Chains A and B, each alone.
Chain A
Amino acid sequence: MPSLPRLLLRVFLPLLALALTLAAPARAQLTIEIVGGAGTTVPIAVVPFEGENRFPLGISGIVGADLSRSGLFKLVDDTGIVPRPARGEDVRAGDFRARGADAVVVGSTRLLADGRVEVRFALVDVVKQVQLAGMTYTVAPAQFRATAHKIADIVYEKFTGDAGVFSTRIAYITKQGTRYELIVADADGNAPQAVVTSNEPLLSPSWSPDGSRIAYVSLENRKPVVYLQSLATGARQVVANFRGSNSAPAWSPDGRRLIVTLTKDGGSQLFLINADGTGVQRILSSPGIDTEASFMPDGQSILFTSDRGGTPQVYRLNLATNVIERLTFDGGYNVSPRATPDGKGFVFVRRDGNRFMLGIQDFATRQVQMLTAGPLDESPSVAPNSKLVIYAAQQGGRGILAAVSSDGRVKQRLVSPASDVREPAWGPLLR
């Protein structure tokens, strides 16, 4: 147990029982279940790091859980391999090949005089018998979790060629009775923290590109108003509180402006606005609904939902040329477009009969692949490596979060024991 939490527990333990009877239940953490796997997985052994059991968290367990949860790795049991290797050069390839592993993660932890810990790790390809990566970190024990995610990110990238997103964070909204909370948590559901609590609905959280702020919509003033909250200070400001409804915030890639839906001039229409709430500027005009805008990663164009053609469909607007192009044609309800960060396609929600499901469409080929089967899937948000999509679904009459790989193969459920969970937003990759 790190020293800070231990101190907190010691000081407040006597009050715990009392507080628990008075207060709402502790913030429930999401746990992730894999419900479908990829076609091929990398068999990998994550050997317990030398000395890690002296620390409450350890490293290897978290690395293994990250890799396994991605659906792209299969953990190979290393029990009985003696002595356990702790450095890349100590790995005897034959020991691990005999158990079917293609790769091995080994490492060690060493307590330094100042209380910090030196964490070393190596990733060895036991097929080619080469070391693929090796790093040394000097961290406080409280940072073991973050360190383990970094190691998992490196392993993931070495084998897939894509950036790992184990170190990122997610935001989502929970509802318990009439209590709404905007929560920020690690991508694996750990360390959930409420950044906004309200007795009125909260929706549409959107991360600033640098991960420091979240824009969202609150109905606390008996109408939708767009707010901006700093995660570092907790300070918040109004971005858009014009006459009528203010909703659907989305950041520009440079983090200076947001695109929002305002009804101040009649109808739901798209506006650009500076992050400080100044400089509101209408960017489109339609007789019907334009909403749910999001920027393309290059910032040159936006995707949005419009019923200008009679049914809600996805359109793209080039902000420089003002050319509008309809992108979806199949079916009568295609909404909530979100471009993948690699710029190759976009994820959206399609209604088919009474089912709402996620699809992904390629910009170049216009080909659509349905990723989920519903029945009530919505609010897709794409991971910064473009490989996973987190979304809101219904299970047993309750809102849950789920994730699907952008090729549709790996499916995960993020289950919360207590509350209704919705409106996920995947935070940016922070280097």
Chain B
Amino acid sequence: MRKWIVAAFVIAALAGCSTTPTQDAAPVEDRTAGAAAGTGTSGTTTTGTSTAGVSGTATTAAGRNPLKDPASPLSKRSVYFDYDQFVVKDEYRSLVESHAKYLQANRNAKVAVQGNTDERGTREYNIALGQKRADALKKLMLLLGATEAQIETVSFGKEKPRREGHDETSWAENRRDDIVYAGE
């Protein structure tokens, strides 16, 4: 039996993960390739705006993408929440305002606000809690100048923790909204 499974797996590998042979009366096809559909989803592609040859004209940081410039407040993308809380804390006010003003000045710019939770609680309820965090941040950004069409709020719940630990330090890091610009 063991070998059988191994054999089936090898075949699948050789066949480019298209189909596994059926094992019994109720066939299940492995559509690994089709299903995962390498739609370049996870690999974040960066738009090449920080072009080559930065000629150092002293006046402005021309040619630099303010979204990528570590000196710009726009490079800061994460807002952290207290346990079971959905209120954007005052300490993030200027960060949020920077992004809202950027969106106001660049009406073609779009962002996803991705809500996250720590690992405590059930998966689907945490998707809803992460959504609540994303929505809270969006609400504030709308008040500060962004428009509805520019912000999509989504949630990863507890599915994509930045830290894998099972302690308060990890949990605090994972109770978070991330702002991600379209094309990033």
Is A201 within 8 A of B125, CB to CB?
A: no
Which of A69-77, A129-137, A139-147, A151-159 sits within the interface? Answer: A139-147
Is A247 within 8 A of B4, CB to CB?
A: no
What are the residues of chain B within 8 A of A268 when measuring CB–CB? 127-128, 131-132
Q: Mark B16-36, 1 if CB is under 8 A from A, else 0.
A: 010111011111111110111
The reply on A23 being an interface residue by CB < 8 A is: yes
Q: A9-B3, A12-B7, A244-B152 are in contact. Are A336 and B131 (CB under 8 A)?
A: no
How would you classify the secondary structure of chain A's contact residues: helix, strand, loop or mixed?
mixed
Interface residues in B54-92 (C-beta closer than 8 Å to A)? none
Is B7 within 8 A of A197, CB to CB?
A: no
Q: A233-B29, A234-B30 are in contact. Are A379 and B122 (CB under 8 A)?
A: yes
Is B128 within 8 A of A289, CB to CB?
A: yes
Q: A244-B154, A289-B129 are in contact. Are A223 and B14 (CB under 8 A)?
A: no
Is B32 within 8 A of A197, CB to CB?
A: yes
What are the residues of chain A within 8 A of B6 when measuring CB–CB? 16, 20, 26
Q: Which of B14, B125, B156 contacts A12 (CB 8 A)?
A: B14
Q: Which residue on chain B has the smallest CB distance to residue A194? A: B30
Q: Which of B9, B20, B125 has the most CB of A within 10 A?
A: B125
Is B125 within 8 A of A335, CB to CB?
A: yes
Q: A26-B9, A219-B160 are in contact. Are A194 and B37 (CB under 8 A)?
A: no
Q: In the complex, what's the smallest C-beta–C-beta distance from A287 to chain B, in angstroms?
A: 11
Q: Which of A232, A263, A356 has the most CB of B within 10 A?
A: A263
Give the B interface residue count (CB, 8 A): 57
Is A196 within 8 A of B42, CB to CB?
A: no
Is B5 within 8 A of A29, CB to CB?
A: yes
Q: Which residue on chain B has the smallest CB distance to residue A179? A: B36
Q: Which residue on chain A has the smallest CB distance to residue B19? A: A234
Is B25 within 8 A of A267, CB to CB?
A: no
The reply on A164 being an interface residue by CB < 8 A is: no
Q: Mark A412-426, 1 if CB is under 8 A from B, else 0.
A: 000000000011000
Is A243 within 8 A of B32, CB to CB?
A: no
Q: In the complex, what's the smallest C-beta–C-beta distance from A351 to chain B, in angstroms?
A: 7
Q: Which residue on chain B has the smallest CB distance to residue A394? A: B166
Interface residues in B153-180 (C-beta closer than 8 Å to A)? 153-157, 159-160, 166, 180
Q: A200-B41, A220-B37, A220-B42 are in contact. Are A378 and B14 (CB under 8 A)?
A: no
Is B166 within 8 A of A336, CB to CB?
A: no
Q: Which of A12, A27, A336, A351 contacts B5 (CB 8 A)?
A: A27
Is A291 within 8 A of B112, CB to CB?
A: no
What are the residues of chain A within 8 A of B21 when measuring CB–CB? 4, 8
Q: Which of B10, B35, B157 contacts A195 (CB 8 A)?
A: B35
Q: In the complex, what's the smallest C-beta–C-beta distance from A83 to chain B, in angstroms?
A: 30
Q: Which of A26, A191, A336 contacts B124 (CB 8 A)?
A: A336
What are the residues of chain B within 8 A of A4 when measuring CB–CB? 21
Q: In the complex, what's the smallest C-beta–C-beta distance from A290 to chain B, in angstroms?
A: 8
Q: Which residue on chain B has the smallest CB distance to residue A173? A: B123
Is A142 within 8 A of B24, CB to CB?
A: yes
Considering the complex of A and B, which 9 residue pairs feature the smallest CB-CB distances, nearest first?
A: A234-B31, A234-B29, A223-B154, A201-B159, A268-B128, A196-B35, A197-B32, A289-B128, A220-B41
Of the A-B pairs whose beta carbons lie under 8 Å apart in the complex, a sample of 12, sorted by A's number, is A193-B20, A195-B31, A196-B35, A200-B41, A200-B160, A204-B123, A234-B19, A235-B31, A245-B155, A291-B128, A336-B125, A356-B120
Query: Besides A234-B19, A234-B30, A292-B125, 8 other CB < 8 A contacts?
Result: A8-B11, A16-B6, A193-B23, A231-B27, A266-B135, A267-B131, A267-B135, A349-B122
